[in-house]
Amino acid sequence: MGQGAGAVLAAAARPATLLPMHLPTPTLLTARLRLRPFAQGDADAIHALQSNARVMRYWDAPPWTDPAQAQAFLAACLQMQVEGSGARFAIETLAEGAFIGWCAMFRWNPVHASLGIGYCLDEPAWGHGYTTEAVRAMLHWAFSTLALNRVEAELDTRNAASARVLEKLGFEREGLRREDCVVNGEVSDSWIYGLLRRDWQALSLAQGPAAAPVGSGCDAGASRRLALVSLVVHRYDDAIAFYRDRLGFDLVEDTRLSEHKRWVVVRPQGVSSAGVLLAQAATPEQASVVGRQTGGRVFLFLDTDDLDRDYRLYRSKGVVFVREPSNMPYGRVAVFKDLYGNLWDLIQPVASISSVNR
């Protein structure tokens, strides 16, 4: 694996029955980098990276020789999203927009709350702290988005630079896998590194908000954030259909916990903010509050950069508005109700209106 190249094999291998869940790859920003989903236009860049023998020196496979390998890589990125098994991020500099490598989380196992990570950066990016910055942002998103407890990484024991990256991020060296990798006849050993949620939380508190990605929701001086809001529903699938198909929310997770209970999380598309936990009523008392958790007051607030666009879109999908769009001192607002009658404010803040009108 090249400098800054991390694990390609990790996460629990114990068998588990998992339900498919869509896991869209978000765009994450740091002080110097943008982590984004891969696109078809990245084929040449990823092929050039993975065919560089110096970059691939400590990888668990030889350098690429066939452009078709890039297409297979990109297809796998989409497959990971569809299966909900992980996410691959293209890494580019904010200043120049230059592609400098990639990082990934994979083999997400919600039963064991574990996944693996890997990363690979190009030679010009070595020695600038980009790997640590990118992987920290990915881990922040993973721990914030998933019910994740353990992250595992595996690397060639000769790759001292990658070991330093993991140790700076709080990983502990847990073991040695002897002679587990053979590339072009060369046999090598691998270190196993692990990071637990409590280790990550302790490190994040020690480093402070500066360690969090830009736009991650960590304001100066804060060490907590709102993760989920519970919404009581009659049936999981009816609620998923409304929020995903009518409002366009992402179905972040749908994991079966028992015969009658699932962990279902939705959130507005393409963001890593607080999500909505769809909780199916399990008792008559819980069922009695479906649709009126706030006693008829507006319950939830959805910001948009274009209210009139979303108003027309939602109306076309059958969403019922109980208050037409109007201008308020804090922005342009309309009120709609979900399938159970819970009221939502759809708001275009004043700042967004000003930027649209420029």
**Listed range (23-27, 155-159, 276-280, 354-358) with the worst mean pLDDT:** 354-358
Q: What own/partner pairs with CB < 8 Å and gap ≥ 24 does 65-73 have?
A: 67/43, 70/43, 70/44, 70/46, 71/43, 73/38, 73/46
Sequence ranges of the chain with CATH classification 3.10.180.10 = 226-290, 295-358
> How does pLDDT run across 181-206, given as a tens digit for each residue?
898 899 999 999 999 999 898 887 66
Task: Please choose, from the candidates 251, 205, 244, 216, the residue with its C-alpha nearest in 3D space to the C-alpha of residue 144.
Answer: 216
Query: Considering the entire predicted model, what is its pTM?
Result: 0.57
What is the spatial distance between Cα 347 and Cα 349, in angstroms, rounded to a whole number? 6
Name the token pair of 34.
């943008």
CATH architecture, domain 295-358: Roll (3.10)
Segment 93-104 shows an average pLDDT of 94
CATH architecture, domain 226-290: Roll (3.10)
CATH superfamily of 28-211: Gcn5-related N-acetyltransferase (GNAT) (3.40.630.30)
* CB atoms closer than 10 angstroms to residue 343: 19
DSSP code at position 273: S
Sequence ranges of the chain with CATH classification 3.40.630.30 = 28-211
With a CB cutoff of 8 Å and minimum separation 6, the contacts of 2 are: 52, 54, 55, 56, 57, 58, 59, 120, 121, 123
> How does pLDDT run across 15-29, given as a tens digit for each residue?
334 445 567 888 999
Check if the beta carbon of residue 346 is closer than 8 Å to that of residue 304: yes
> How does pLDDT run across 126-171, given as a tens digit for each residue?
999 999 999 999 999 999 888 899 999 999 999 999 999 999 999 9
